[in-house]
Amino acid sequence: MAQPNKKPNSFSKGMMSDIDANALPPDSYKEAVGGRLITRDDNSFVLKNAQGNTLLDSIELNSYEFFINNFDSQLASFAQSLNGTNASYQGFTVRLYGTDPSFSYEATYFKYDESVFNGLSYPDSNPNVWLTFAIYKLLSNPDVQEKVNIFVFSNNIFHPQTPLEINVIDKTSQSTSLQIKAHIKYTDNNLEAQTSVQTYEPTFSFNNNSHKYKIVGVASFSDYSVLLTRYSEDKCALWKVTLNNDGTLNQREVIAHADLGFLENVSLRVEVSEENEHFHRIYWTDGIQPLRTINLKEEFLYYTNLVADDLNVFKESKLLAPVVQDIIGGGNVSCGAHSYCYRLVTTDGKTSRVSNITNPINIVKTVPNTSYHETLGGSLSTNSSNAVSIRIDDIDNSYGTIQLIDITYTSAEGAITANIISESQITSSSFNYTHNGNETKVSISIGELLRSHVVSISVTYQ
């Protein structure tokens, strides 16, 4: 049997990665992943990155680690030392200070403060949350942001018995310290059981650590680059790096320090979406775990208690069809056949697929309970006198908002138009809405509406 003639690709003009792919000249390529060279004698060689002559920078994270354990037992012991009982936490004050007396900043958060802080809503129920909010308030000071990064780790920040780890990363040469004061209320048995208020400093273990991180991926934006690095699977860091014109390091800082799920000795394929000043998004895959994404412009608290599965592009959800409860009078929904569905949106802009769609319902011009022989229809451009009551159950609370979609049938052949008629915050596992026809509509494409499943592409590296 004759052997097929081999005709290897020829790229005599080399790699051109700085121009649009559609404008590439013949005999050139934009990039190579898992590339291989084959000589005329059929010798095969694998392309690998070569180590340069100069070490630009070691990706090393120096941090002060504060481990706070047993909030409740510490509180009981302190109250007992004062001959007190029935002690409870009221809030925390966090103070950051340095060797220079002018370097001193503090912030306080009490449990009766608003539970919605900078648009982020959390249960206001335990010391971990209050202390985290106090740290967040401290970091909202621009002067503090210039001097340190602070990241909070916890397996479950909402459980008061879960240890809280606070990492302070200096951006300046000045050594800094963190002081935490707990505000408590207790029954003072020395004062005939009167209620007293006191402050104390919780004890915590302290480590001054230096960890070297391994680069597993790189993303380039218009004026900076991002290094995706790993120390362990649950301790990963995103670094913002800027370079001088001569290639030397200008600035390096940690954007996020969280559980990003990067695997040991596994490189990432990274893509960038620089949408606007509020959304600088990176997508990555390692060919093993799900496709994931993160927005680099979120507030500090977004990265607190973050776990890798929160970043999956395609989130699993049952997405049951809405339930049409009733057609009621008093609305202006257009006459004709309507169906309803919805999709869910995360706080950083990721959307679920569209839910299952209801069976069509017929909206007539006359009000409900009209005798059948007096019921009047109307053209698609005619407003009825009716509204539609809708209920959605089993909503995934890991999403932030729900978009309700009205599908209007425009022909007997099944042509449709689809519009988002409501976008509301998710506050529980169920959602009730009345479609009255007076809503502001946002069109949604038919292709996006009818995409019934998501295909996840796996990339394998040689």
pLDDT (tens digit, 9 = 90+) per residue, 34-52? 566 666 666 666 666 665 5
The letter for the amino acid at 180 is I
Using alpha carbons, select from 222, 226, 247 the residue that is nearest to residue 236.
226
- The H or E element containing residue 139 is helix 127-139
Q: Determine the 3-state secondary structure of 448 from DSSP.
A: helix
pLDDT, position 402: 94
Q: What is the pTM of this model?
A: 0.50
Cα separation of the two ends of the chain:
30
Using alpha carbons, select from 66, 60, 129, 121 the residue that is nearest to residue 95.
66
- Side-chain-side CA neighbours of residue 72 (13 Å): 6
The answer for residues whose C-beta is within 8 angstroms of residue 254's C-beta and 6 or more apart is 61, 149, 151, 169, 237, 238, 239, 240
Q: Determine the 3-state secondary structure of 1 from DSSP.
A: coil
Sign, Cα dihedral of 202, 207, 210, 216: negative
pLDDT (tens digit, 9 = 90+) per residue, 73-114? 777 777 777 777 777 777 888 888 877 788 888 888 887 665
- The H or E element containing residue 142 is helix 142-147
Residues 352/366, Cβ–Cβ less than 8 Å: no
| pLDDT higher at 300 or 276 | 276
Question: How large is the greatest C-alpha to C-alpha distance in the chain, in angstroms?
Answer: 104
